[in-house]
């Protein structure tokens, strides 16, 4: 039985394709297998700029992506990595969906909504260093590489999609916003399908120095909800979904991975850095409005779980405020301890993680967990995956600037 309230208005939206690429996998299968086995993608790396200067920090960086990037074609070969990651993940999702965008007017009825927190950060850094240190002119394609809508535009062109196409940039909530807005376009009848998700590629010297100055980067591992947590680890990659109107997907016999049963978004309206319980809880409640909540033991929350001192207890309180007594029975985990914090792409990759938990009945673990924190007193699935049937998966994304976005997935 669907967890969607049959009396709720609008068309139903389902997921018929998924793609992911990050430090712990270059396909959904590899990504999920490593998640179930608690593989950590964090390593201490020395990141060099094109002037020879460098920074040494723990990051969740991809290895061996270059051969895959070469297969993306000439246009993407000249793009920034954040666009390459998006196309690589989207190719997986589109292939898995089985959609033919050339059929009828589907290309004209398909939206392309991609999120990113920064856009072409590496292209920007390389250009400025070349200009200021070596007096070189910018590459003619610099602007096309760095603009935040580059990934969305590349995907629209790549698949011939002529529906609404744009980027959403809302820091760490970008991916969840992109998926939720794309679902709303289908629900409202503006589109019949969508390629939606997010990508990020900021593992470069300048960006890492800037993050380090905020004093929220861990100097070892990300340890979400653990009392000895020290902060987050920067990752890179992309997560992309193909969304489709339910009746259309059912009529063509598509494999349906999950249904988007809710989406909530709001703003704290209080502070650029410090998160607010009421904002996070409000977004969760909005995502669950009109949803028949299953028993708590069948609910999984993929937490924002950054491993920072402020986020984790705030999110714990928000989950408790949203789910009440059932919060003691749910399963929670932060998979950022494995794949890193992908910033704008977090909601894309973590949506794939949430759907896989829903499909398989396996809760991915919160690895690197050492010591219980009384302020983070939920069942956070410490260190080892757990088999448990899931009927509702909730993916939380909370961003700097007090921006909150939550996507809820259910079985069909």
pLDDT digits (tens, 9 = 90+) for 333-379: 999 999 999 999 999 999 999 999 999 999 999 999 999 999 999 99
- In sequence order, the β-bridge partners of residue 410 are 259, 392
- Whether residue 2 is predicted with pLDDT greater than 60 in this model: the reply is no
Q: Which of 22, 172, 222, 376 is the catalytic position?
A: 172
Q: Which of 22, 339, 341, 376 is the catalytic position?
A: 341
Do 26 and 82 belong together in one domain?
yes
pLDDT score, position 85: 98
Within a domain: residue 161? yes
pLDDT category at 4 given cuts 50, 70, 90 is low
- In sequence order, the β-bridge partners of residue 306 are none
Average pLDDT for residues 286-301, to the nearest whole number? Answer: 97
Looking at residue 228, which CATH number applies to its domain?
A: 3.40.47.10
Number of domains within the chain: 2
Ranking 110-119, 126-135, 285-294 by mean pLDDT, the lowest is 126-135
Taking the chain, what is the end-to-end CA distance rounded to the nearest angstrom?
7
Do 355 and 391 belong together in one domain?
yes
pLDDT category at 7 given cuts 50, 70, 90 is very low
* Mean pLDDT computed over every residue of the chain: 96
Q: Which of 154, 177, 304, 339 is the catalytic position?
A: 304
Within a domain: residue 367? yes
pLDDT score, position 10: 87
- Whether residue 9 is predicted with pLDDT greater than 70 in this model: the reply is no
Q: Is 172 a catalytic residue?
A: yes
Within a domain: residue 26? yes
Q: Is 222 a catalytic residue?
A: no
pLDDT score, position 212: 96
Q: Is 177 a catalytic residue?
A: no
- Whether residue 1 is predicted with pLDDT greater than 50 in this model: the reply is no
Average pLDDT for residues 239-244, to the nearest whole number? Answer: 98
Q: Which domain holds residue 164?
A: 13-251
Within a domain: residue 274? yes
């Amino acid at each position: 039985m669907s967890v969607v309230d049959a009396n709720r208005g609008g068309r139903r939206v389902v997921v018929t394709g998924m793609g992911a690429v990050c430090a712990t996998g270059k396909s959904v299968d590899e990504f999920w297998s490593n998640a179930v086995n608690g593989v950590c993608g964090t390593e201490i790396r020395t990141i060099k700029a094109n002037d020879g200067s460098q920074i040494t920090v723990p990051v969740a960086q991809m290895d061996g992506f270059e051969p895959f990037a070469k297969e993306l074609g000439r246009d993407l070969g000249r793009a920034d990595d954040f666009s390459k990651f998006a196309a690589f993940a989207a190719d997986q999702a589109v292939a898995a969906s089985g959609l033919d965008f050339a059929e009828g007017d589907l290309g004209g009825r398909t939206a392309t909504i991609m999120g990113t927190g920064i856009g072409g950060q590496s292209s920007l850094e390389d250009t400025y260093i070349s200009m200021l240190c070596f007096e070189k002119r910018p590459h003619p394609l610099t602007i096309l590489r760095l603009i935040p809508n580059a990934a969305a535009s590349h995907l629209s062109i790549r698949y011939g999609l002529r529906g609404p196409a744009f980027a959403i940039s809302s820091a760490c909530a970008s991916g969840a916003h992109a998926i939720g807005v794309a679902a709303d376009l289908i629900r409202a009848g503006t589109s019949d399908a969508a390629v939606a998700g997010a990508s990020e590629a900021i593992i470069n010297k300048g960006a890492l120095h800037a993050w380090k100055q905020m004093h929220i980067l861990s100097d070892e591992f990300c340890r979400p909800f653990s009392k000895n947590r020290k902060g987050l680890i920067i990752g890179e990659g992309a997560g992309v979904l193909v969304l489709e109107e339910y009746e259309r997907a059912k009529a063509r016999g598509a494999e349906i991975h999950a249904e988007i049963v809710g989406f909530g978004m709001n703003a704290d309206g209080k502070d650029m850095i410090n998160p607010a319980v009421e904002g996070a809880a409000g977004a969760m409640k909005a995502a669950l409005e009109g949803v028949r909540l299953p028993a708590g033991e069948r609910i999984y929350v993929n937490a924002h779980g950054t491993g920072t001192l402020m986020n984790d207890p705030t999110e714990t309180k928000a989950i408790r405020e949203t789910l009440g007594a059932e919060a003691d029975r749910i399963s929670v985990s932060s998979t950022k301890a494995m794949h890193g914090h992908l910033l704008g792409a977090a909601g894309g990759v973590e949506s794939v993680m949430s759907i896989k938990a829903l499909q398989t009945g396996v809760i991915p673990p919160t690895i690197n967990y050492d010591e219980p924190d009384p302020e983070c007193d939920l069942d956070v699935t410490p260190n080892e995956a757990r088999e448990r049937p899931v009927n509702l998966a909730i993916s939380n994304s909370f961003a700097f600037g007090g921006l909150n976005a939550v996507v809820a997935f259910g079985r069909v």
